[in-house]
Amino acid sequence: MTDKHETPRALPLNQQWRTSSRSSGGNCVEVRLSSPNQIQVRDSKNRELPSLSFSRLAWTALIGAVKSNSLN
């Protein structure tokens, strides 16, 4: 994840699923970059379920909204 004013770090294309280092207790998601502009997200407890796909722009906006607590 990134700081509010930090540019998102680049993920290598076709990277394996990765879990946040801040995750604990099994309540987490995994992410991967499936194409240069497509990020996939899945539930780490239910990996067989379909993943969600976000454009890089939508993912950056979502992370920013979560960090600023503006999803209420």
Res 55: pLDDT: 95
Decide if 36 is inside a domain.
yes
Closest CA to 51 of 23, 24, 21, 17: 17
Pairing of strands 52-55, 38-43: antiparallel
Instruction: Name residues whose C-beta falls within 8 Å of residue 53's C-beta, 6 or more positions apart in sequence.
Output: 34, 38, 39, 40, 41
Q: How many domains does the chain have?
A: 1
Res 34: pLDDT: 86
Domain boundaries, position 60: 10-19+26-72
Decide if 5 is inside a domain.
no
Res 21: pLDDT: 73
Decide if 43 is inside a domain.
yes
Q: Tell me how far apart the alpha carbons of residues 37 and 58 are, in angstroms, rounded to a whole number.
A: 10
Res 46: pLDDT: 87
Decide if 1 is inside a domain.
no
Decide if 65 is inside a domain.
yes
Q: What is the pLDDT of residues 21-60, one digit of tens each?
A: 777 777 788 889 888 889 999 988 888 899 999 999 999 9
